[in-house]
Each structure stands twice: as C-alpha cells, then as structure tokens.
Amino acid sequence: MGNPAGTSPSDELSIYLHIYPSHEWTVSMADIDQRNGYLIALPNPEIGDEHNVIFGWQGHYNESTPGREEFFEATSRPLMVSPLSSNHFGNWNNSFANAKLYVMRDEDIEHISIEYRVDIKEHHDSDTLLAAPAVQGAEGGVLHPGDADMEDLKVSGRHDGLELEDEGILCVRAFDRSNEPGTLLDEIFTWARADSDAVASRQLHFRLSRTWLLEQQGRWLEFRFQLVGNYYALGSQVTTTLVTKERVLPAPELARTENDSIKALALRDGAYLSIPETAALGGAIVMGCVSSPEGVSLYQTPLTCEENDEPSTTRHYWVPQGVLVPYIGRQLCWHYDVYDHDGIHISELLLLKITLPPENSMPAIQCPAASGNDWISLNTVRGDVFFELGRWPFMATGQLISLSASLQYIGAGSQPERRHHDILLDYKVNDSDIENGYVTGSLEQSELLKLNLGSHMTFSATVTYGEDSPPLMFKSVTLQLVP
C-alpha cells in the first residue's frame, strides 16, 4: 500500500466521507463500545479499478497538537470501506480526529478529499437523532422472507432537509438469537444518493437483496442509517426486526386413502397420521391437528421434537375416533402446526373426505310385533307397534335419527290414500340408547286403525352423524297389515 504522506495531490476530489457511527460530526464512545467503527466513501466516477483508495485518520491531543496520521486501505469496492478499531477512537476520547480520503495511482496521489473533523465524546446528543429507518414488510417487527411475494427489501430513512445528491449509508447487523446477548454474525453496508423523488418524499431508500435476507432466517436484524450533506451529518435511531425461519412442512400422510378420501370403516380405531421425514421440525413444538374446512380447530395433540433429532425421523400423531365420527360424510383438513421463536408455521393441508359406511354395513329396522314375519295382525296388537334401530357403525350420542313410514289410509269412497308418516324426526341419540344398543320408535295403535287392511307398510330410517353430514340409510322393512 502506498503511503500518501509527503506527496502532493494533483486534484481535490469532491466526495463525502462517512465516519460510522457518528451523529452531528460526533462519535460517541458508548456507541463504539457496542458496534464497529468504519470510514466509508460512496462510489465516485473519478475512482477506477486502477486506483488505490486510502483513508487517512489523525487524532489530535488538542487544537494545536496533532497525533500521527494513520493510513487504511479500503477493503471493498465499489462502496469503499475501512474498519477502525475501538482504540482508534478511544485514544482520542474527549478530543477530536480528522479523516480524509486519498486516491492513488501507484505511488502518486491523484485526488484527495477535504478534511472531515469528528469530535469524540462519551455521548452525543441522542435527542436529535433521526427517526429509526422504516423496514418495508416488517409487520409487528417480523420479516417473512419465505413469502412468495417478498422481493428485495426496501428500507427507508427520512429527513425533512434532504437535498439533491445528499448521501446515505445503511448499516445492517445480523445477530444470533439463540443466546443473550446475541452474537454478531454479519454486518453489511448499502448506500443511496438523493434524487428528485427522494427529495420530494423526504426519504432516502435503500435496498437489500432477498437472497441475502433468506440467509438471515432465524436471526435478529438491526438497521441504522446515516446521512451526509453539504451542511450536516446525521445518524438515526435503530430499528430491530426478526427474520422468520421458514420451515419445509409437507402435508401429513394417512394410510389407506384413495382419490382424496378415506373410508369411515378404516377409522374404527381413529386416524394414525405420519409427518414426513422431510419436515423441518428440529427444536420446535409440534401440534398434530384436525380442522374443519371452515378453519375451526377440532383436535390438537402435542409432539415434542428435539434440536438434535435425526432428519430421517418420522413422527406420528393419533386422532381419536370420537373426533372424526361427527364428520363422517364430510371433508376434513389434516395438518400439523409448528411453534418456534418465529411464531406458528402451518403445514400443507391434507384434505380428505370421510366416506359414509356402506349400506350393507347398516342393520335392518326390526319390529318385535311382527315376530319375524312380514306381516302384523291387528288381532294380536294390544297397543302401539314398536320398532328398533339396532347398533350401527360408529353409534354415538348426539347423532340424529329419523324413522318414517309410508302408509295406505282408508280413503273417501273406495279410493285408498297413501301418506308419509313421521315416527321419529331428528331424534337425538342419548346415553340410554347407547347403553341399550338400539333406538326405539312407535307407531300408535290409533294410526293402525286408520289403515286399509291388507295394505303394505314400508318403514325407512336414517342416521346423521353430525351437522351438515349426509344421512345414512338403515335397511328398510315392509310389513303387511292383516286382520
């Protein structure tokens, strides 16, 4: 690295020098204790790849006694940055330092900036700091870089006195969130110059790539900007956001499914779901879930996953039969929710309809008064005629039973009249019915006496497992009414 000392510049360069962190040309040692210091210059058309860029730093013991000037080569391009240790500030605490920039070709200085002075104190005037930068999309202090519509991140810094060609730098620091205080993992700078739109809106906009943001998942980000103009140099307050860690959460799997459905009889022992081994669950609390299509949670059961679990570990959760029965004949949403520092992550949904049991699995309507025959005799009936609906698949309290008859009544003249007659209408199954193993309904004797002798009576019944579920038919029975 060439040493600028003792050489003369051929031209003075119009360029701003940013001394970070500072505010109103003052460096606070309280700031330096918490963050790194830097000398920074924005890209300039007078500086090419053939040049070496060197920052000069010279502390002063007092107004008349300077210290030795130190030189630091810029470590990056096109944004020119050189770090300063805390000693470079601490050695001149309660005094000041000057900084300048040298542009060199070989051993000769082609350009040199004006000299910038910063006072170094324990604290600067924090009451005059600019407002913290606004981070687009950070709802509730949280960024979701995995969202499909998330593009490059825009961060805005506001200053009512912004003028054309004023410059800003944005410092973003990434911290590990697994310990306290967090470990600094990354620190980057980006920059912007004020154009007419920025002046009109009084905001300078910085951009960070989504690619970089995705690399910060699960980390805290700290945003702080500084502005420099012809007559000012201002720092801002700090914005802190959390970058969520997006997890790959494929839908759970359930055996014996077919065409987005599963037979009810396959769920006699409940549902045993598998979470695919590709799901990223390490270090999280996982809840196996079932929800209605309307999003109403029906069941949750916890699973605990350790940070060091093998990626190939397949986890399972069980949903009891009782949760599923009211939804026989309907579609359910099967999923699992993952709870971690970033909030709640919901897996992809497994949408399955539980199909009704087959009709041949349903019992037939029984009439004890028929004594196994296909007729009922009025001479042997001494009261109401009772019917029994025996235990059916998944019989449970709260289910709705309807029992009806198609009867032929004595009509006017010689014309009989067939009518529908309800015996049970939306009868709710209770505990006694469960204990007995059947539901009963009766046809009043007085109703029998209105019927044509020799006519046939057809009895039908349905069970509805739950609200909005389709009815399931019992096997009907037809009996003849004889004298």
- Span 190-229, pLDDT tens digits: 999 999 999 999 999 999 998 899 889 888 999 999 999 9
Reported confidence tier of residue 413, pLDDT bands at 50, 70, 90: low
CATH number at residue 301: 2.60.40
Question: For 91-103, what is the mean pLDDT?
Answer: 95
Least confident of 112-121, 231-240, 274-283, 311-320: 311-320
Within a domain: 66: yes
Tens digit of each residue's pLDDT (9 = 90 or more) over 10-55: 567 889 999 999 999 999 999 998 889 999 999 999 899 899 999 9
Q: Judge whether 164 lies within some domain.
A: yes
User: Could you tell me where the DSSP H helices lie in 4-85?
Assistant: 29-32
Specify whether 281 is located in the same domain as 214: no
454 shares a domain with 475: yes
Would you state the pLDDT for residue 291? 94
DSSP letters for 316-350: EEEE-HHHHGGGTTSEEEEEEEEEETTEEEEPPPE
On whether both 344 and 367 belong to a single domain, the answer is no
pLDDT tens per residue, range 285-314: 899 999 998 889 999 999 866 555 555 567
Residue 230 Rama label (left phi>0; alpha psi -120 to 50; beta): alpha
Tell me: do 66 and 22 sit in the same domain. Answer: yes
| Helix, strand, or coil (residue 223) | strand
* CB contact at 8 A, 387 and 363: no
Q: Which residue has the tokens 């006496």?
A: 449
Tell me, yes or no, whether 234 and 259 share the same domain: no
* Final residue belonging to a domain, choices 312, 332, 355: 355
In contact, 190 and 212? CB cutoff 8 Å: no
Question: Does residue 2 belong to any structural domain of this protein?
Answer: no
DSSP 358: P
Same domain, 118 and 187: no
Joined together, the tokens standing for residue 275 give 């979470």
% of the chain with per-residue pLDDT over 90: 72
Give the count of domains, the chain. Answer: 4
DSSP element (H, E) containing 201: helix 196-201
Q: Sign of the CA dihedral 134, 137, 138, 144?
A: negative
Question: Which residue among 219, 243, 267 closes a domain?
Answer: 243
Query: Backbone phi, then psi, for 264, in 5-degree steps?
Result: -60, -40
Q: Dig out the tokens for 295 from the structure.
A: 């999003």
Q: Within this chain, do residues 212 and 297 fall inside the same structural domain, yes or no?
A: no
Query: Average of pLDDT values for 235-247?
Result: 89
- Domain co-membership, 306 together with 326: yes
Question: Which SS3 state, helix, strand or coil, does residue 436 take?
Answer: helix
For 248-277, how does the pLDDT look when each residue is reduced to its tens digit (9 = 90+)?
899 999 999 999 999 999 999 999 999 998
Has residue 248 been placed in a domain?
Answer: no
Could you tell me if residue 299 is inside a domain? yes
Question: Are 384 and 447 contained in the same domain?
Answer: yes
Looking at 355, 390, 424, the residue that finishes a domain is: 355
Q: Please tell me whether residues 402 and 377 are part of one structural domain.
A: yes
> Measuring CA to CA, how many Å separate 346 from each of 32, 284, 290?
42, 13, 12
SS3 222: strand
pTM of the model: 0.61
Q: With contact defined as beta carbons under 8 Å apart, do 477 and 422 qualify?
A: no
Reported as a single tens digit per residue, the pLDDT across 116-132 is 999 999 988 778 999 99
Question: Is residue 3 in a domain?
Answer: no
Region 319-335: what's the mean pLDDT?
95
- Tell me whether residue 5 is in a domain: no
Inside any domain, residue 336 = yes
Instruction: Determine the structural domain holding residue 51 and report its residue range.
Output: 11-125
pLDDT digits (tens, 9 = 90+) for 330-378: 999 999 999 877 778 889 999 999 999 999 999 999 999 998 899 999 8
Instruction: Mark whether 349 and 440 lie in a shared domain.
Output: no
pLDDT of residue 284: 82
Q: Are residues 114 and 23 in the same domain?
A: yes
Question: Tokens for 391?
Answer: 């235990």
Domain of 205, CATH number, reads 2.60.40.10
User: Strand 350-355 vs strand 261-263: parallel, antiparallel, or unpaired?
Assistant: parallel
- Tokens found for residue 282: 């390490």
Contacts of 276 (CB under 8 A, 6+ apart): 250, 251, 252, 253, 314
Looking at residue 178, what is its pLDDT? Answer: 65
pLDDT for 307 equals 52
pLDDT reported for residue 303: 80
